[in-house]
Amino acid sequence: MSNSDITNRTLPKDVELRLLREVRPPNSEALVASLEERKYVRDYFSDIDREEDEAYEELKEKAKQLTREQHRVVRGGKASGSANDKKSDVPVVVGERDARAAAICSELVARDAAADLVVTAFRRRQFGSSRGTLTHEAAIAYVWDDYRRTLLAEMTTEQAARDLEHRRARLNDTKVLILVDHLRRSVPHQFLLDDPEQETTLGDVVAYLHWRYPWFKEDAAWFVLTGNTPAVRPVTLTMGADLTFIIRVQPWTSRESMNAAYDSISTPWIGKGHPPTDKALSLLEFVIEHTGEDGNRPTWEALRELWNARFPARHFTTYSGIRRAYIGARKKLAPRRL
């Protein structure tokens, strides 16, 4: 059977149904489409004549990986594009001294921010006092009303307005934090340094505080509205939607805490992060070398023979061994996106 014949085939219905029943993805159609697009179905057919059970098990493992990625997206794991985005923050355990320093820093920064002219001017206009704040429930209502005014200005039908009220009825604390990213803005936050008394929205003040102080946006919003002291963290580890990590550290953070952040780099579908081995890099280069622009390449058995001839000291005993090694190296070095 030629590569083109294999590439154009789709999974038999009984195999597809068995796979979906065992893997249970959030989106069945997207899973099957991804398996075909990434040529996993082609790999399945290229080996099914020799070892059908093993070919199916490897296909199922790939489907599980895609399903884990789907679940991550469904849970809201995509980052919003900010390097200081609490929704995608990865917990890091720091030492006692750094934790103590962070608590002191949090208090000092909050006191500075409470006296910041941008904050005092906003509170005076909105709450009647430069130190005026709201209760937790009132703060939730304030954030929602700000978001609601923005949407109502864009809505033209009565049905759309009713849909908005339906959203309000289902609102909870978590969803309120998400709304913080969509607060109205009227002036670039850098301009507030020159004229802190000018008219601002909550979104303006939050963006300004997020830019000037080591705070997450939602913590900055809650500070402005309720006076709650935001936590300053010695180190934060953030995973983005592009599957990269950003480590942000305070100038006083210890080397131990920075190492703890690095050691925390892990994802549910590739496990703990670590540099690839020389053999893994050589294998990836080898497969790329033998893959055409159309994505077609020799069978894994043929690739095994070519590899063993070139690297006899690092030989593979079976074709499935070289394929599993390639899949593992590919998954860790450049995880596929949904």
Q: For residue range 67-77, list pLDDT tens digits in order.
A: 876 665 555 44
163 and 42 belong to one structural domain: no
Which pLDDT tens digit goes with each residue over 105-148? 999 999 999 999 999 999 999 999 988 899 988 988 888 888 77
The values of phi and psi at residue 189, to 5°, are -65, -30
pLDDT value of position 147: 75
CA dist., res. 270 & res. 334, Å (int)? 10
pLDDT value for 304: 94
Residue range 66-90: mean pLDDT, rounded: 54
Query: Are both 214 and 297 inside the same structural domain?
Result: no
What is the tens place of the pLDDT at every residue in 159-204?
555 555 555 555 555 556 667 777 888 888 888 888 998 999 999 9
213 and 283 both lie in a single domain: no
Task: Write b or e for each residue in 253-281: b if 16 or more Cβ atoms lie within 10 A of its Cβ, otherwise e.
Answer: bbeebbebbeebbebebeeeeeeeeeebe
Identify the pLDDT of residue 84: 41
Asked whether residue 99 falls in the same domain as residue 228, the answer is yes
How many structural domains comprise the chain? 4
| pLDDT tier, 98 (very low <50, low <70, confident <90, very high otherwise) | very high
Residues 144 and 132 in one domain: yes
In the numeric block, the tokens 């074709």 are attached to 319
Using pLDDT thresholds of 50, 70 and 90, give the confidence band for residue 104. very high
Nearest to 318 by CA among 4, 21, 19, 58: 58
Q: What is the pLDDT of residue 78?
A: 39
Q: What pLDDT shows up at residue 35? A: 85
pTM: predicted TM-score of the whole model, two decimal places: 0.62
Domain shared by 24 and 88, yes or no? no
Is residue 227 domain-shared with residue 120, that is, in the same domain? yes
pLDDT at site 76: 46
Q: Give the sheet arrangement for strand 89-90, strand by strand.
A: 89-90, 235-239, 245-249
pLDDT-based confidence at residue 33 (cuts at 50, 70, 90): confident
- 283 within 8 A of 325, measured Cβ to Cβ: yes
115 shares its domain with 164: yes
pLDDT top residue among 37 and 63: 63
- Whether residues 101 and 228 fall in one domain: yes
Regarding whether 216 and 143 lie in a shared domain, the answer is yes
| Residue 58 pLDDT greater than 60, yes or no | yes
Q: Does residue 154 share a domain with residue 50? A: no
Domain span at 238: 80-93+234-266
Condensed to tens digits (0 to 9), the pLDDT of residues 226-257 reads 999 999 999 999 887 777 889 999 999 999 99
* Residue-level pLDDT at 81: 38
Residue 296 and residue 316 in one domain: yes
Q: 17-26, 30-39, 260-269 — which one is most confidently predicted on average?
A: 17-26
pLDDT of residue 302: 94
